[in-house]
A and B are shown apart, each in its own frame.
Chain A
Amino acid sequence: MSKLVPLPDAITRFVPDGASVALGTSLESVIPFAAGHEMVRQNRRDLELVGPISDILFDQLIGAGCVRRVVAAWVGNVSAGLGHNYRRAAEQGVPRAIDVEEHSNLSIGLGLLAGALGVPYLPTRTLLGSDLVSRNPRLEPLEPGLLRVGAIEPDVTILHVQRADDAGHAHAWGNLGVTKEAGLAAESVILTSEEIVPTDVILSDPNRVPLPPHRVRAVCHVPGGAHPSPVQGHYGRDHVAYAAYHRATRDQAGFDAWLREGVLDVPDRAGYLDKVGERWPALRPLVRCPAAPVDYA
């Protein structure tokens, strides 16, 4: 049965207001920006965002007023500095106050892993002696020298992958971050994919599949869906876009204008990439670096 649906339909169906959504599970690469922008266009509200380092996607969703809570290790703009919208929300409650569940990269990964393993918590030796423990309800001392990280179970995890078939079999490679953990911990998984390929392509290399296909509820064909973040084998990181975003969003009016032009007035991803203009084709890799084939005989 085909799970291939247009991105707006997948967001409408699987990301309701109030949902807990894991995004940006590969840290600074393959961030599903197209899916995030579609949430903004559909005016989602009261979302809980889950992700270790989301680069500017969390900042955009916070600025658009979609977010009530953030579960993250780092929120900002990796190459340019602080996240202006994150600051406005946390410091002034603009456009609305947000609750922050602050983690380290390891504790959010372990929380998702606990969710993926179906256990209530995992023990770790990180974060002891820090003020994060007293501020984060999911962290509790377990015994001397061990901290308990409670399971994180998002309602939906959105993953951007290089290729998938219409049944939800996918191949992902490069930096996977907490992709497998977040995919297994969630109730539903939405895939956005650079390419839709025949099933035989995926089945030729089953080690490359990050999670069981039956976890996937929707597959969306969204070429360029992770721009400005990079996708191994497809396009590099668009540093210019991050710097421009940082400059444009220093005040709320600047962000509102950016959002209108870059998201609200853009019908779909093709329209978005048109606006990226000359930079978009220039992000393609200049040389190919294929891995040696593996033999499943």
Chain B
Amino acid sequence: MSGEHADTGLGYTASELLGVMAARRLYDGASVFAGVGLPLLAAVMARKSHAPRLMIVVEGGVFDPEMLTGRLPISTNEMRIAHRATMLTSITDTFLYAQRGFLDVGFIGGAQVDRFGNVNSSVIGPYDRPKVRLPGSGGANDIISLCRDVMIVTMHEARRFVPRVDFVTSPGFVQGGESRKEAGLHFGKVSQVITNLGLLGFDEQERTMRLEAVHPGVTPQQVQDATGFELEIPSDVPTTAPPTAGELTLLRSLDPDRRYLG
């Protein structure tokens, strides 16, 4: 995610903006599957502010670990992540819990995202002779397949927002329209794409990506310019409220060494 640590010129970095915007999407009483990194930071931030009863599930099979300020884990299986967890189970159990329909929100990232919200974290180029072999799904496919509402959190760059991903590691709306349901995914959806430039969603019928809000100081044209396909852009695009001093203070206090925030 090149540039994520760069200051936006507005008193916060792109990664801080992503963290605040992701945290705002979480609501009290929800269950969230949060991978280590910005998603976990956002989830802990939400729990320490507007969503005290947010249940955080971490990939290794950890339910509601006690996250000490400044001591968030780098890896999902660090010793500290088991500290005062409400349950410590296996990864298979965690995803079966999601398959049962018990997880409300999931976060994923990826190297490529396309206009239907499909995500590629497997290969750039042909599968059998890739230009870049990426690590793979990990739990990303399971999150996008099995959580009720999935948010893609990523930097906004034309090379990342492509018309068609080279490989569908994690299906969003597949080929648009009803094709996600036709593929057998009856549960869950990609509800939001959170980027450093704005918030994007999907047309209810076509399931193509559309711009829903821009962040302060960003124009819809700038978002389009950083997107490798034509976005649906309404005539009146709202601007998100900028991160408040309180939000930034809380976020930064959780990551004083800037392991996630850069």
Contact = CB atoms under 8 A, between A and B. Distances in A.
> Do A and B bind?
yes
B142 A104 contact: yes
A127 interface: yes
Interface stretch (B10-18, B84-92, B201-209): B84-92
B145 A127 contact: yes
Given A28-B76, A127-B141, A91 B92 contact: no
Interface in B111-152: 122-123, 127, 129-142, 145-146
Contact of B139 (A76, A105, A145, A181): A105
A126 B184 contact: no
Given A74-B137, A131-B168, A289 B142 contact: no
B141 A91 contact: no
B77 A128 contact: no
A110 B82 contact: no
Given A28-B77, A236-B78, A109 B90 contact: yes
Contacts, number: 191
B115 to A, nearest CB: 16
Interface in B27-75: 59-62, 74-75
Nearest to A231: B79
Size category of the binding interface on chain B = 35 or more
Contacts of A144: 184
A78 B92 contact: no
A8 B139 CA distance: 34
A52 B78 contact: no
B102 interface: no
B168 A129 contact: yes
B154 interface: no
Nearest to A98: B133
B160 interface: no
Interface stretch (A36-44, A172-180, A266-274): A172-180
Interface in A145-185: 145-147, 174-181
B83 A289 contact: yes
B183 A27 contact: no
A124 B98 CA distance: 11
A113 interface: yes
B31 to A, nearest CB: 17
Given A175-B77, A232-B79, A236-B79, A128 B59 contact: no
Contacts of A289: 83
Interface in A106-147: 106-107, 109-110, 113, 124-132, 135, 141, 144-147
B185 A129 contact: yes
Contact of B99 (A75, A87, A125, A131): A125
Contacts of B139: 73, 104-106
B130 A91 contact: yes
A103 interface: yes
A77 to B, nearest CB: 9
5 contacts: A28-B75, A52-B91, A104-B138, A181-B92, A237-B75
Interface of A: 26-29, 52-53, 55, 72-76, 78-79, 82-83, 86-87, 89-91, 102-107, 109-110, 113, 124-132, 135, 141, 144-147, 174-181, 229-233, 236-237, 239, 285, 289
